[in-house]
Amino acid sequence: MNAHQLQKLLEQALSFSIHWKPEGGASNALRSSRFCSEVGKRLPALLPAEAKLFHIGFQNESVHRVPGEWLLDAVVADIDDIGCVRRVHIAMECESSTAMQSFSWDFGKLLHVKATTKIYLQGLNQALAAAADGFVTERLDLAARLVREEDPGSEWFFGFWPSPEKVRGAESLWDTFNSGRYLHLGSIRLFQFDGASFVPAT
């Protein structure tokens, strides 16, 4: 998979989701789901061949979600004439929470699913840049150890994105970016597994 194209896709999905203002508003959990959905629906464009996308979608610009998951938050796969999944090209998990329990549950799914490319998207919500950097380093070290032990043969990407959680003085972290606060969280950080560790994707 082209890392530059994936980075661009993630940035587009984040920009769309941050500016998504449905009538009546949306909870932070729903805004998080929207980001994951926007990433998922763009993933098939990274493949040269026809493939089917399984993910949770949304009805146009509304807050109404449309079920469509298959095992993970997003899967792009080939299916046969009876609708059976035969080959998984891309498997993705997307989690806004920074809790270890959430990471262990979702990343563990990726470790054991059979797919050519695996993507884990981890939310960030640290108010200080140093704390965010420390979290990124620790989480990548842990992920690399798990991948080395369980599935070093797949292509792996690990991305960090700003979680739309509540912060002091605002209903959502996303609503603070226009004021210049928390800008250290305002972009996508994408890493790729090189066989030993996760390094910045190029």
Which structure tokens are listed for 114? 């059979």
User: For 184, left (φ over 0), alpha (ψ -120 to 50), or beta?
Assistant: alpha
Please check whether residue 79 is in contact with residue 85, taking contact to mean a CB–CB distance below 8 angstroms: yes
Confidence band, pLDDT 50/70/90 cuts, at residue 22: confident
pLDDT of residue 106: 96
- Do 185 and 125 meet the contact criterion of CB atoms below 8 Å apart? yes
Q: How many domains does the chain have?
A: 1
pLDDT at 83: 84
* 90-117 average pLDDT score: 96
Q: At residue 20, does pLDDT exceed 70? A: yes
> pLDDT category, 11, cuts 50, 70, 90?
very high
Q: What letter represents residue 155's amino acid?
A: E
Up-side HSE of residue 36: CA atoms within 13 Å toward CB? 30
Q: Is the pLDDT reported for residue 111 higher than 90?
A: yes
Residue 132: give the domain boundaries: 3-200
Residue range 124-182, pLDDT digits in tens: 999 889 999 999 999 999 999 999 999 999 999 999 999 988 776 667 888 887 777 88
Mean pLDDT over 57-85 rounds to: 83
Q: pLDDT at position 169, please?
A: 62
Residue 18, phi then psi, degrees to nearest 5 = -65, -35
Mean pLDDT score across all residues of the chain: 91
* Burial letters 139-159, b for 16+ CB under 10 A, else e: bbeebbebbeeebeebebbbb
pLDDT tens digits along 113-134: 999 999 999 999 998 899 999 9
pLDDT (average), residues 69-77: 89
